């Protein structure tokens, strides 16, 4: 199914993901960050579902459903709970200023658009822009992980990065189910890992600030 | 005949914006009050305030220069001209061909320039604080606004509001992310420019964090009336601009007849009402942010403007 | 389907099935003594199954699985080191349990994870589907993350977290690269599974869009390169090695790095087969040299013995990647040989280091002195191992490094200068440290080692033999692979 409207909606949803990624860079409170992440995943769900519809690929609905259940509902709720339990609903410390971070984010978006559009001149427009957006989301997720010191926000950054990957995988037409399942699967595993980690970190430090971990190392090396 | 018609439209437009501006402000105030479960003042209260101020004597500090007295008229004039060229119910405004979006920003910028000068002219500490904060906001808001205009102009192929409005109603626009981003950014800029919550609180001049109210603290009488009216006009201007760029339906072209103009006018009023109600809702739901956060807020708007420009290159024309 | 093909299918299946079954069993079994033995037995069975691949007929490359000359080397090496490490781990873990650093519950988890990791690595080697390969590499990585953090100390958690964060960057980049490869293949091979089957991709790669392949390779190199421990992305590696249990350090250095390397190689072959795409060589050579020189200098300032050998691993991975980047029959041969030698030597060193640090109760280099006097067997083992890894003749590492250097001199004389420089710097650092640790005034605990020397010395003997005499069939086989790699 190809038509301007179909394209437009896919374009809006995928571009919306980039926008929401930028919003995540802007957030400096954990709860807000989680809520924006849930929005991010919701957009991803819609985007994947729309791709499933356009491509006539019903298996993508499964991916969308997984994203909806896990990333829109379960994980944000669980992280909310965790934050409340840990009592860390204060501001996120950012390593560099938000303005600078966002500028870097814009740079990354520009980079991914330039790179992806240049190497895919023959693919169909939808795939091209999906890839450009996906790479942007991926790099922005990386940026979140790099600029945040709090373990929870790093995890959120990681998951938004995964969202970018899912977007890329669905944008590639006819990509086998193996990969989608594996993506969802790895998210699941990653989350288990993360859960274990958070618990252990809390056990040991009573904080999930990764900076505290660095302090420990600094003390030891002295 | 054509000239007369165009002139007529333009004159109506000029009168319309001045007439509607206090009403819009009154409406927003009323809506906010209702949302807070207060009864609130009547929607025509701003008219009463203005007429009262006009009748009152203007008290001017002894040590101020002529600039202080001139500034209100200059500010009002610049804002009025800017507001008069934004298509509200019709696109064929005769002046609009001489003034494009960038010029509108320039007009508003010069108004702000005089306001800041006047704030400092009195020599009180509040005026100085207000002016410096206003300039801080301006240095961030104006580039952001220009970037947004840039993004919109790249898409529409023009900086003329009439052309943009015509383009936006054509089917070739489609849904575009860059426009959505630009919309968010322009709303952020508009909030900052109009001294609304969360940047500034329009309802008080008793806070240390005030910006706009700090500058006009020394004004009274007809001067204050001019400045207040200019502020109301600015709110209307931004709302009309957003409406004109992003929801330009029912803005009638120059060939439309007078009945069509009526339809355009009605839909303009409806759009204003919806916009005002949304503003009231937003202001009620948000808390004012610290002054130190303002650069971040506007920085984000700037970045969004940049993003809008960037995303423009990823579109259907790929 | 005749009997022999049924049997060969079983060999591949066994490599994958044994670890999975063992992991399930180990997760359910209480009692660490039994589980350690089951772990060893399972590893041995896997090794036997891997050896069966030599004698039996190879299955046709399918949609998911593939056995060819290249990956047999990796599989056999993997299962062999996996087996010896499980032997070492049995004695190592017993000690950890005595000192109370690990609880029986930890151990159950540890053993199950060990087998899952083996499964992941084996799957990565035999997969013919680039998506499946990615999944397998991730699986192996995630299990090692869990094992690195198993001590739950500050440092272990920090190391695991760092490993996880950087690993996830690798995850993302590698998957993105994989998706791009699929996109490049899709117009030529067609939508669906076929466009991810490596053997099909190699056949048709000449028709792929070269620009897309280039970008894909950069992502894949960065992604899998993170796991290889290449220079700008290596930060996780020393921490993960130093803070995890020593058997895991041995497996990380000896095996997991190879898995990532294998993935890079597969894509290198793919790219090299496309005439218009960039040649992957220069990129790999740059990263390899950077890692080598960087790690060589870092070796001087280490105070932690495991951390030092972790940097040595970065150095050697740099050498190997450089060799494969240089390409050509000789350099590829050297790279392959070096990889095998490094795996054997480095894991032997970690076996020794594991016991040493258990005896001394510390990993600080300054606290470990005069080992040859107090613990001659361990100490001399370490001496031989370090001498081997530093590239002294007559060990196998010397052979491969010599081959590589001479090949570089012949083909890229300018690059040979930094290569030799890096090798010499690393050599100096290792010998400097070794003298103190092995021959200085004895310091610290002198209690007798309760160690199993078999794994360590079996590795060292193999390395020594390889240095002196390489059997002609092995040489022929490696040469064949070297040609395959281009």
Nearest to B93 by CA among B207, B21, B16: B16
CB proximity C171 to A under 8 Å: yes
Residue A191: per-residue pLDDT = 59
Read off the pLDDT of each residue in B225-247 and give the average, rounded to a whole number: 93
User: Nearest Cα to B74, choosing from B18, B114, B102?
Assistant: B114
Average pLDDT, chain C: 87
Question: Closest chain A residue to C150 measured between Cα atoms?
Answer: A200
The rounded distance, in Å, linking the Cα atoms of C170 and B186 is 38
CA atoms within 13 A on the CB side of C459: 37
**Chosen from B147, B187, B303 to mutate, greatest number of chain A CBs within 10 A:** B303
Mean pLDDT, residues B106-121: 92
- pLDDT at residue B197 tops 90: no
Closest CA to C174 of C218, C132, C139, C219: C219
Tell me whether residues A8 and B299 touch, CB distance under 8 A.
no
Tell me the mean pLDDT in the region B13-42. Answer: 93
pLDDT in tens, C374-415: 888 888 999 999 999 998 888 889 989 999 999 999 998 999
- Residue A198 CB neighbour total at 10 angstroms: 20
Structural domains of chain C, count: 1
Cβ neighbours of A172 in C, within 8 Å? 179, 182-183, 186
Which of A104-108, B194-198, C141-145, C194-198 has maximum average pLDDT? A104-108
Shortest CA gap B199–chain A (Å)? 16
Report the range of poorest mean pLDDT among A6-15, B253-262, C284-293, C312-321: B253-262
Residues of A in contact with C172 (CB under 8 A): 138, 141-142, 161-162, 164-165
Whole-Å CA distances, C180 to A128, C265, C424: 11, 17, 40
d(CA C11, CA C67): 10
**C-alpha to C-alpha distances, C81 to C46, C63, C456, nearest whole angstrom:** 11, 28, 10
| DSSP secondary structure letter of residue B56 | S
- Spatial distance between the Cα atoms of B159 and B40, rounded to a whole number of angstroms: 40
Find tokens 């995540």 and name the residue. Answer: A24
pLDDT value of position C272: 86
Q: Which chain A residues are closer than 8 Å to B303 by Cβ? A: 22, 99, 102-103, 105-106
What is the average pLDDT value for chain B, to the nearest integer? 88
Answer yes or no: is pLDDT of C275 > 80: yes
A102 and B310 in contact by Cβ < 8 A?
no
Query: Measured between alpha carbons, how far is A108 from A147 in angstroms, rounded to an integer?
Result: 14
| Of the candidate ranges B188-197, C18-27, C240-249, C449-458, the one whose mean pLDDT is the lowest | C449-458
Tell me what the mean pLDDT of segment C208-220 comes to. Answer: 90
Rounded to 5 degrees, φ, ψ at A92 are -80, 135
CA distance B318 to chain A (A): 5
Residues of C in contact with A151 (CB under 8 A): 161
Which segments in chain A show pLDDT lower than 50? 1, 178, 200, 202-208, 216-222
Quick one: pLDDT at residue A203? 39
- Flag if B311 and A105 touch (Cβ within 8 Å): no
- Interface A-B: count of C-beta contacts within 8 A: 83
CB count within 10 Å of CB A113 equals: 22
* Stronger pLDDT, C45 or B90, i.e. the higher one: C45
Of A175, A186, A217, the CB nearest to C155: A217
- The per-residue pLDDT for range B259-276, each reduced to its tens digit, is 888 888 999 999 999 999
Provide CB contacts within 8 A for B264, sequence distance 6+.
B88, B89, B90, B250, B251, B252, B256
Position C125 in a domain: no
DSSP at C300: G
What is d(CA C254, CA C347) in angstroms, rounded to the nearest whole number?
A: 6
Token pair for residue B21? 């501006």
Residue C146 with chain A: CB contacts under 8 Å: 193, 196
Provide the shortest C-alpha distance from residue A100 to chain B (in Å).
9
Contact between chains at B311 and A15 (C-beta distance less than 8 A) = yes
User: Do C179 and A151 count as a contact with CB atoms less than 8 A apart?
Assistant: no
**Which residues in chain A are closer than 8 Å to C135, comparing Cβ atoms?**
178, 182, 185-186
- The mean pLDDT of C9-20, rounded to a whole number, is 83
The answer to which of A197-206, C277-286, C350-359 has the lowest mean pLDDT is A197-206
The mean pLDDT value for B94-100 works out to: 79
Angle between helices A98-119 and B294-311 (to 10 degrees): 10
Q: What are phi and psi of A148, to 5 degrees?
A: -95, 145
**Pick the residue with more confidence: B48 or A60?**
B48
Q: Which of A116, A142, A174 is nearest residue C191 as measured by Cβ atoms? A: A174
Is the residue at C299 inside a domain? yes
Whether the pLDDT of residue C212 is over 70: the answer is: yes
Q: Would you call C105 an interface residue with chain A, using a CB distance cutoff of 8 Å?
A: no
Q: Helix or strand or coil: residue B252?
A: strand
Is residue C326 assigned to a domain? Answer: yes
Cα distances (angstroms) measured from residue B91 to each of B110, B254, C137: 25, 6, 62
Burial A151-190 (b: 16+ CB within 10 A, else e): bbbbbbbbbbbbbbbbbbbbbbbebbebbbbbbbebbebb
Query: Position of tokens 């383009």?
Result: B167
Residue A56 burial (10 A CB sphere; 0-12, 13-18, 19+): exposed
Residue C360 lies in a domain: yes
Domain count, chain A: 1
List of chains touching B (3+ CB pairs within 8 A): A
**Distances, alpha carbon B146 to alpha carbons B110, B176, B189, B237, B297, in Å:** 15, 19, 10, 16, 16
Which of B177, B296, B300 lies closest to A15 in CB terms? Answer: B177
List residues in chain A touching B: CB distance below 8 A.
4-5, 7-9, 11-12, 14-16, 18-19, 22, 26, 97-99, 102-103, 105-106, 109-110, 113, 117, 125, 128-129, 132-133
Say how far apart CA B114 and CA B70 lie, in whole Å: 9
B and C adjacent (3 or more CB pairs under 8 angstroms): no
Continuous segment of H or E residues that includes residue B53: helix B45-55
Task: List all residues 6 or more positions away from C113 whose beta carbon is below 8 Å from its beta carbon.
Answer: C23, C143, C146, C147
- With CA atoms as reference, the chain B residue closest to A22 would be B304
Q: Is C155 on the interface with A (CB under 8 A)?
A: yes
Q: Contact at 8 Å (CB) between B240 and B88?
A: yes
Single out the residue of A159, A156, A157, A106 nearest to residue A136, CA to CA. Answer: A106
Q: Which residue of A has its CA nearest to C145?
A: A193
Q: Where in the sequence is the domain holding A102, given as residue range(s)?
A: 4-221
Distance from CA of A53 to the nearest CA of C (A): 17
Span C184-198, pLDDT tens digits: 888 888 887 788 888
Closest chain A residue to the Cα of C137, Cα to Cα: A186
More confident residue, C33 or C20: C20
Chain C nearest CA to A99, separation (Å): 24
Which residues does C457 contact at the CB level (< 8 Å), separation at least 6? C348, C381
Q: Do C131 and A183 touch (CB under 8 A)?
A: no
pLDDT band at B255 (very low <50, low <70, confident <90, very high): confident
User: In which domain, by residue range, is C335 found?
Assistant: 280-486
More confident residue, C167 or C308: C308
Note whether B165 and B248 are within 8 A (CB): yes
* Interchain CB contact of C109 with A (< 8 Å): no
| Pairwise pLDDT comparison (C451 vs C141), residue with the higher score | C141
Higher-scoring residue by pLDDT: C306, B94: C306
Give the chain B residue nearest A5 (alpha carbons).
B174
> How far is Cα C369 from Cα C435, in angstroms, rounded to an integer?
9
Confidence of residue C424 (pLDDT cuts 50, 70, 90): very high
Are the beta carbons of C145 and A162 separated by less than 8 Å?
Answer: no
Q: Name every chain B residue with its beta carbon within 8 A of the beta carbon of A36.
A: none
B133 has a pLDDT exceeding 60 = yes
Q: Quick check: A134 and C171 CB within 8 A?
A: no
Distance from CA of B246 to the nearest CA of A (A): 15
| Closest approach of A102 to chain B, Cα-based (Å) | 7
Q: Which residue has the tokens 């130190």?
A: B292
Pick the range with the lowest mean pLDDT from B173-177, C5-9, C205-209.
Answer: C5-9
* Distance of residue A213 Cα from the nearest chain C Cα, in angstroms: 6
Residue C238 lies in a domain: no
Share of chain B residues as helix, strand and coil, in percent rounded to the nearest 5:
70, 0, 30
pTM above 0.90, yes or no: no
Report which of residues B256 and C156 the model is more confident about. Answer: C156
B293 to chain A: closest CA residue:
A98
Tell me whether residues A11 and B314 touch, CB distance under 8 A: yes
Q: Which of B311, B312, B315 to mutate to test the interface with A (most CBs of A within 10 A)?
A: B311
């Amino acid at each position: 199914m190809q038509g301007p409207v179909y394209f437009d909606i896919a374009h809006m949803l995928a571009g919306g993901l980039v926008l929401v990624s930028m919003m995540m860079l802007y957030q400096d409170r954990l709860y807000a960050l989680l809520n924006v992440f849930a929005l991010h995943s919701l957009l991803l769900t819609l985007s994947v579902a729309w791709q499933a519809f356009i491509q006539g690929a019903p298996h993508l609905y499964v991916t969308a459903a997984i994203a909806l259940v896990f990333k829109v509902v379960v994980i944000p709720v669980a992280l909310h709970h965790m934050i409340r339990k840990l009592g860390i609903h204060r501001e996120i410390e950012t390593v560099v200023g938000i303005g600078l971070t966002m500028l870097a984010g814009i740079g990354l978006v520009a980079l991914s658009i330039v790179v992806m559009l240049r190497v895919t001149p023959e693919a169909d427009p939808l795939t091209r822009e999906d890839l450009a957006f996906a790479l942007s989301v991926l790099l922005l997720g990386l940026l979140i992980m790099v600029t945040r010191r709090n373990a929870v926000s790093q995890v959120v950054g990681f998951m938004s990065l995964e969202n970018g990957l899912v977007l890329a995988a669905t944008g590639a037409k006819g990509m086998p189910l193996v990969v989608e399942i594996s993506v969802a699967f790895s998210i699941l595993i990653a989350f288990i890992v993360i859960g274990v980690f958070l618990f252990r970190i809390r056990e040991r430090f009573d904080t999930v600030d990764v900076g505290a971990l660095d302090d420990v190392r600094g003390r030891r090396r002295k | 005949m054509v000239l007369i018609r165009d002139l007529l439209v333009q004159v109506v437009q000029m009168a319309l914006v001045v007439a509607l501006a206090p009403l819009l402000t009154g409406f927003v105030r009323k809506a906010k009050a209702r949302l807070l479960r207060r009864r609130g003042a009547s929607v025509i209260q701003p008219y009463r305030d203005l007429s009262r101020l006009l009748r009152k004597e203007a008290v001017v500090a002894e040590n101020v220069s002529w600039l202080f007295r001139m500034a209100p008229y200059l500010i009002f004039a610049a804002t009025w001209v800017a507001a008069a060229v934004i298509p509200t119910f019709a696109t064929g405004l005769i002046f609009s061909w001489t003034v494009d979006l960038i010029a509108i920003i320039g007009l508003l910028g010069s108004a702000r320039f005089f306001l800041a000068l006047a704030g400092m002219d009195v020599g009180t500490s509040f005026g100085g604080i207000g002016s410096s904060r206003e300039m801080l906001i301006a240095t961030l808001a104006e580039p952001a606004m220009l970037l947004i205009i840039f993004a919109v102009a790249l898409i529409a192929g023009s900086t003329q509001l009439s052309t943009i409005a015509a383009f936006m109603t054509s089917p070739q626009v489609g849904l575009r992310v860059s426009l959505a981003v630009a919309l968010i950014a322009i709303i952020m800029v508009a909030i900052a420019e109009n001294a609304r919550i969360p940047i500034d609180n329009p309802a008080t001049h008793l806070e240390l964090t005030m910006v706009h109210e700090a500058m006009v603290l020394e004004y009274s009488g007809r001067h204050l009336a001019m400045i207040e009216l200019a502020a109301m006009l600015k709110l209307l201007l931004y709302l009309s601009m957003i409406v004109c760029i992003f929801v330009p339906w029912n803005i009638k072209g120059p060939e439309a007849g007078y009945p069509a103009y009526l339809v355009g006018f009605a839909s303009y009023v409806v759009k204003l009402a919806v916009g005002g109600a949304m503003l009231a809702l937003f202001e009620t739901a948000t808390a004012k942010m610290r002054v130190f956060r303002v650069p971040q807020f506007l920085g984000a708007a700037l970045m969004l403007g940049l993003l809008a420009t960037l995303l423009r290159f990823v579109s259907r024309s790929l | 389907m005749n009997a022999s093909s049924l049997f060969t299918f079983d060999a591949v299946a066994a490599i994958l099935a044994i670890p999975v079954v063992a992991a399930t069993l180990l997760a359910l079994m209480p009692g660490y003594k039994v589980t350690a033995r089951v772990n060893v037995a399972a590893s041995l069975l896997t090794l036997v199954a891997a050896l069966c691949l030599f004698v039996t007929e190879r299955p046709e490359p399918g949609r998911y699985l593939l056995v060819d000359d290249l990956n047999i080397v990796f599989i056999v090496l993997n299962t062999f080191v996996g087996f010896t490490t499980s032997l070492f781990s049995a004695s190592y873990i017993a000690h950890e349990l005595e000192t109370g650093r690990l609880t029986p519950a930890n151990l159950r988890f540890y053993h199950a994870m060990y087998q899952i990791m083996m499964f992941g690595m084996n799957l990565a080697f035999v997969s013919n589907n680039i998506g499946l390969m990615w999944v397998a590499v991730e699986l192996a990585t995630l299990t090692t993350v869990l094992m690195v953090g198993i001590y739950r100390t500050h440092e272990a958690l920090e190391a695991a977290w760092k490993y996880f964060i950087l690993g996830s960057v690798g995850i993302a980049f590698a998957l993105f690269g994989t998706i791009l490869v699929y996109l490049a293949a899709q117009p030529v091979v067609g939508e669906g599974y076929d466009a991810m089957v490596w053997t099909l991709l190699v056949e048709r790669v000449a028709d792929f869009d070269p620009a897309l392949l280039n970008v894909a390779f950069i992502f894949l190199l960065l992604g899998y390169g993170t796991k290889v421990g290449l220079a700008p992305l290596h930060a996780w590696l020393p921490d993960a090695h130093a803070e995890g249990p020593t058997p895991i350090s041995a497996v990380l250095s000896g095996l997991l790095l190879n898995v990532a390397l294998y993935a890079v190689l597969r894509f290198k072959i793919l790219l090299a087969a496309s005439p218009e795409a960039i040649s992957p060589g220069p990129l790999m050579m740059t990263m390899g040299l950077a890692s080598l020189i960087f790690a060589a200098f870092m070796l001087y300032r280490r105070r932690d013995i495991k951390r030092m050998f972790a940097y040595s691993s970065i150095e050697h991975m740099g050498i190997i990647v450089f060799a494969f980047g240089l390409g050509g029959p000789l350099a590829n041969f050297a790279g392959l040989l070096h990889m095998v030698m490094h795996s054997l030597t480095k894991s032997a060193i970690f076996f020794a280091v594991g016991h040493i640090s258990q005896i001394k109760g510390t990993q600080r280099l300054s606290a470990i002195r005069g080992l040859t006097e107090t613990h001659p067997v361990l100490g001399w083992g370490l001496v031989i191992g370090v001498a081997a890894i530093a590239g002294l003749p007559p060990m196998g590492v010397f052979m491969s490094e010599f081959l590589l250097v001479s090949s570089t001199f012949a083909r890229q004389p300018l690059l040979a200068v930094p290569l030799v420089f890096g090798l010499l710097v690393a050599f100096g650092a290792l010998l400097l440290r070794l003298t103190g640790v092995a021959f200085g005034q004895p310091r610290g605990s002198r209690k007798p080692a309760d160690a199993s020397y078999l794994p360590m010395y079996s590795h060292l003997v193999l390395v020594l033999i390889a240095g002196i005499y390489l059997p002609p069939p092995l040489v022929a086989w490696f040469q064949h692979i070297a040609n395959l790699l281009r």
